[in-house]
Amino acid sequence: MRSLFLVATALALVLGAASPASATLSATDKAVLNFALNLEYLEANFYHCAAFGQPIPSALWVGGMGQAGKAPIGCPKGRGTLSIWARKYANEIALDELGHVKLLRAVLGKDAVAQPLLDVGPAFAAAAQAAAQLALKTTDPITFEPAFDVYNNDTYFYHAAFIFEDVGVTAYVGAAKLIDSKDILTAAAKILAIEAYHSGSIRTLLYQMENKQAFSKPALLVRDVVKAISDLRDAVDGSTDLDQGIVSFGKTANGTPYVAANVVPTDANRIAFERTTSQVLRIVYLGGKSKGGFFPQGLNGAIMSA
Ligand SMILES: *[C@@H]1O[C@H](CO)[C@@H](O)[C@H](O)[C@H]1NC(C)=O
């Protein structure tokens, strides 16, 4: 009873409802919410590390039944050399993602999974390496100048944020049809909207620097690296070609070719596209099936295998 009451209270808080929602979560809803919680742990820690030079508070790593959570790999000790401006941007998003972690944990209560092992450092360099190899059509190792350190270089930090944000949006869209409870669906829609704002903002930032060099070496422009990251996400998540960079090429109704910004990635109907949980897992595992990339030991919870 007590835990039911707590869940109802949490839901009422989440949804701003006057009366507590009926709150027995289905097994599917628990699985989906825990899947989302894993992704939010990842994002919250990444932005926390960028803004504050430390992971999210360790009290939030613990699972709902006291399971120990894990410290992330690759978080810098203390603040790096990001500009104040980039850090303030990271600060805002860190608070959003931390809020999502707290909210999902509150709704899940004793069913909340612990924070899994996260890689918020070397995995970015591995993703950048794979993206640059795609862009340069080579399998040879690429040496970046400056070294690809996402906590010490604004440009790299924005590229790292870009790796995640669109994935978050498409993951929440894809999860919608799996959710049983309307209250949970509403809460998920509220989170989805915030992830979409983040995605649009990071894509706008990158679009403003599209003609700049992303690295001193190799000589690749920001728009080409963004395209390569998008191609990498497409390559690892399966056969469908959904993902997009920040520039689009098309033809007007009378056949005149144009180049437009592509700050908002859409499908042919100009609405958001979706990803299955398997497609999302393939991306965050950087091609792996049950672990790898940003989750070196896999996600915690029922949905963890692609
Ligand atoms: C960040 O990387 C860019 C692109 O290579 C470079 O021009 C800039 O000097 C770097 N900034 C820092 C602080 O290392």
Give, for ligand 1, the residue of 81, 124, 153, 156 to mutate: max count of ligand atoms closer than 8 Å to Cβ. 153
Pairwise CA distance, residues 91 & 111, whole Å = 29
Q: What angle do CA 43, 51, 266 make, to 5 degrees?
A: 45
Cβ contact 275:171 at 8 Å: yes
Residues β-bridged to residue 119:
73
198 CA distance to ligand 1 centroid (A)? 23
Nearest CA, atom 10, ligand 1: 153
What number does the ligand 1 atom closest to the CA of 216 have? 5
What number does the ligand 1 atom closest to the CA of 144 have? 5
227 CA distance to ligand 1 centroid (A)? 20
Nearest CA, atom 12, ligand 1: 153
Residues in the chain: 306
Output the pTM of the full model: 0.91
Q: pLDDT truncated to tens, each residue of the chain (306 aa)?
A: 445 545 555 555 555 543 333 358 999 999 999 999 999 999 999 999 999 999 999 999 999 999 999 999 999 988 889 999 999 999 999 999 999 999 999 999 999 999 999 999 999 999 999 999 999 999 999 999 999 999 999 999 999 999 999 999 999 999 999 999 999 999 999 999 999 999 999 999 999 999 999 998 999 999 999 999 999 999 888 877 889 999 999 999 999 999 999 999 999 899 999 999 999 999 999 999 999 999 999 999 999 999
What contacts 214, CB < 8 A, 6 or more positions away? 155, 159, 220, 221, 222, 224, 225
Nearest Cα neighbor of 205 from 284, 263, 163 is 263
Pairwise CA distance, residues 225 & 223, whole Å = 6
Pairwise CA distance, residues 285 & 233, whole Å = 11
